Amino acid sequence: IDQKVHHRFLNSIFLRNRDTMATKLWESMVQQADQFVEAVEEVTSVLFKSTSDTHSEGAEKASPIPDIDVSEIFGNDATADASAEAAEQHGSSLMGAADNVLRDAFAGSVGPQTFREHIAAFSSAINWGEPFIRCLLALHVVMILLAVIFSRKKIFGGQVATFGLLATLVWRTEWLNTYGAAHWRDFATQNYFDKGGVFVGVMYAAPLMLICLCMIIDMVHEASGLLVQVKRLEIKKKEQKNMNGTENPKKVKRRSKKED
Q: How far is CA 233 from CA 139, 140, 238, 246, in A?
A: 42, 40, 9, 20
Task: Tell me: pLDDT of 3 over 80.
Answer: no
Task: Tell me: pLDDT of 196 over 80.
Answer: yes
pLDDT tens across 200-238, in order? 999 999 999 999 999 999 999 988 988 998 988 889 888
Mean pLDDT over each residue of the chain, to the nearest integer: 75
pLDDT tens across 28-50, in order? 777 777 777 777 777 677 666 65
CA dihedral 86, 91, 96, 97 (to 10 degrees): 100
- Residue 107 is predicted with a pLDDT of 55
Separation between Cα atoms, residue 36 and residue 30, nearest integer Å: 10
pTM above 0.75, yes or no: no
pLDDT tens across 130-165, in order? 999 999 999 999 999 999 999 998 888 999 999 999
- Residue 14 is predicted with a pLDDT of 56
Task: Tell me: pLDDT of 97 over 80.
Answer: no
Between vectors from CA 148 to CA 146 and to CA 153, what angle results, nearest 5°?
95
Separation between Cα atoms, residue 74 and residue 241, nearest integer Å: 122
Average pLDDT over residues 158-181: 94
Average pLDDT over residues 6-25: 62
Banded model confidence at residue 70, pLDDT cuts 50, 70, 90: very low
Q: Which of 17-21, 52-56, 131-135, 185-189 has the lowest mean pLDDT?
A: 52-56
